[in-house]
């Protein structure tokens, strides 16, 4: 994955990319992260790389050591499961509350995003489908109108979404199914059902991610994704 990264929010893009590599097992626990080497690989200066590593340190994914740079921390399958469990709980609450706040037009717009996501999945446009999936969840979450929940949800989001390695086994099938039942519950103004389906949806993604973390990350094929 070498090459130029867009200059807009460079440090955020680098943080997301390195986070994906850590979760995917490409960067291994204990591995040293050298600023110059990373900057050369990503085609940027060392400044945004340093800023990105500081973000990852706050998230607990890397550890900074005085005069020794950064090293990758271990992210266990239990950590992955915990992140998804927290995200699922908060997204359930937000979906329940979104029922009363989303207009029919807004639901229609989300349905259109869902159609685009499923179409992108069918033609193998993984990054586009992943971005559309994120936007669907973002709009439903914002409609939940809870800054308190959204603040904590943002802390888990980096661990439950991917852009550079988004296609875990089973995720493509889930994207192709889309959010049809969730959106129908929103349209029916059934808060309990919308929340339940949203929680199940996120936990199913999490189960696939935990399986990947438990089994796939140890294989040479996974490390070379």
Sign of torsion, CA 199 201 205 207?
positive
For the segment 1-25, the average pLDDT, to the nearest whole number, is 71
pLDDT band at 212 (very low <50, low <70, confident <90, very high): confident
pLDDT for 166: 60
Q: Tell me if residue 16 falls in helix, strand or coil.
A: helix
pLDDT for 158: 76
pLDDT for residue 222 is more than 50: no
The answer to whether the pTM exceeds 0.85 is no
pLDDT band at 154 (very low <50, low <70, confident <90, very high): confident
For the segment 5-23, the average pLDDT, to the nearest whole number, is 77
For the segment 119-125, the average pLDDT, to the nearest whole number, is 93
Q: Distance (Å, rounded) from C-alpha 58 to C-alpha 90? A: 21
Cβ contact 221:25 at 8 Å: no
pLDDT for 211: 87
Between residues 220 and 141, which one has the greater pLDDT? 141
Q: Where are the domains of the chain?
A: 10-72, 77-223
What are the tens digits of pLDDT across the range 45-81?
999 999 999 999 988 899 988 777 899 998 888 988 9
Q: What percent of the residues of the chain are helix, what percent strand, and what percent coil, each to the nearest 5?
A: 70, 5, 25
Domain 10-72, CATH 3.40.220.10 — does that match?
Answer: no
Q: Rounded mean pLDDT of the chain?
A: 87
User: Beta-carbon neighbour count of residue 183 at 10 Å?
Assistant: 21
**By mean pLDDT, which of 126-135, 158-167, 188-197, 205-214 is the weakest?**
158-167
For the segment 121-134, the average pLDDT, to the nearest whole number, is 91
pLDDT for 85: 96
Contacts of 213-216 with CB under 8 Å at 24 or more apart are: 213/23, 213/25, 213/75, 213/76, 213/77, 213/80, 214/77, 216/25, 216/168, 216/169
Which residues, 6 or more positions from 199, have their beta carbon under 8 angstroms from its beta carbon? 88, 89, 91, 92
**By mean pLDDT, which of 167-176, 198-207, 211-220 is the weakest?**
211-220
**CATH assignment of 77-223?**
1.20.120.530
pLDDT for residue 216 is more than 60: no
């Amino acid at each position: 994955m070498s090459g130029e990264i867009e200059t807009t929010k460079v440090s955020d893009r680098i943080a997301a990319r390195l986070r994906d590599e850590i979760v995917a097992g490409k960067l291994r626990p204990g591995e040293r992260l050298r600023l110059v080497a990373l900057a050369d690989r990503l085609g940027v200066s060392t400044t945004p790389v340093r800023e990105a590593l500081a973000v990852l340190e706050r998230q607990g994914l890397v550890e900074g050591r005085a005069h020794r740079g950064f090293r990758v921390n271990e992210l266990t399958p239990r950590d992955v499961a915990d992140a998804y469990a927290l995200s699922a709980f908060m997204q359930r609450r937000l979906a329940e509350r979104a029922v009363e706040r989303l207009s029919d037009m807004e639901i229609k717009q989300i349905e259109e995003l869902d159609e685009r996501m499923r179409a992108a999945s069918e033609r193998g446009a993984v990054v586009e489908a992943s971005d559309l999936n994120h936007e669907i969840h973002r709009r439903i979450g914002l409609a939940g109108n809870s800054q308190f929940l959204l603040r904590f949800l943002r802390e888990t989001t980096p661990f439950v979404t991917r852009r550079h390695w988004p296609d875990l086994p089973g995720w493509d099938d889930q994207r192709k199914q889309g959010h049809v039942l969730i959106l129908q519950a929103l349209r029916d103004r059934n808060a309990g059902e919308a929340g339940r389906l949203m929680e199940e949806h996120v936990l199913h993604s999490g189960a696939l991610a935990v399986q990947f973390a438990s089994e796939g990350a140890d294989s040479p094929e996974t490390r070379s994704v």
